[in-house]
Structure 1
């Protein structure tokens, strides 16, 4: 029996099915994903709420430059989401290849936002790649996209804030 989807991956798949097949019923989506109709109803409600809250940025607004990311102690655990496996800070062996990405305005603004929550640029990139890769793998595994095709991921599930379990 396949492992269950994460809520984030399932909602991304639900959103994509709704986009591809506008008249599809919640019962049909539930049957395809192997969950209850009530689960799909909650997912659709959450997707619609997220779409209502998404406010487009004014086109003329200039993003602020990214501040220097806070320094993290090497023994600190990297940030992770409850549904994603932790991403090790030192997962690359010494002398390993490195990725270099130009810092455009959009990436700089995104890193500045993540730095406010205590993520270093390296941790933010590792976490983003891990989360997106899990969504792709779920879409391929459950046959929503052919393997190798890039799924459109539109929704990310946020867990309620818990100051006791919060990590910087």
Structure 2
């Protein structure tokens, strides 16, 4: 069972559905996202209120670090080997820019019941498998990022069985 959506993620998906289908009802949105229509009505009210607010001024491109904040080089272990392709990141968290393209993709995957975290994991796994195949079958040299054009899909089977 997918993890429940955060309010922010759900509202982003609601916005995307409204952008894609301007006449969609709260009940239809609720059905697609797997939440109650009252939650969607609250989201719609919040989105409408947000749109009435004046846009905040843009912050500076990159904030100055605090004087006592360590620089990035100080945070890295001095004798740590350089990262190699395929190495797992040291941290157990990942941060990505939550832009319009990501919002749209997550909204699309939410229609199939994927929570944002699960959707990201699935996307990375699919892309990694494509890279692995390209390198294994020597379509690309090891370590060179392949250009992925399509994803191969299994035919729909309502019983959930795959070949």
- Rg bigger for which structure? 2
TM bracket, shorter-chain basis: 0.3 to 0.5
Question: TM-score when scaled to structure 1?
Answer: 0.44
Q: Which has the higher contact order (CA 8 A, sep 6+)?
A: 1
Question: TM-score when scaled to structure 2?
Answer: 0.45
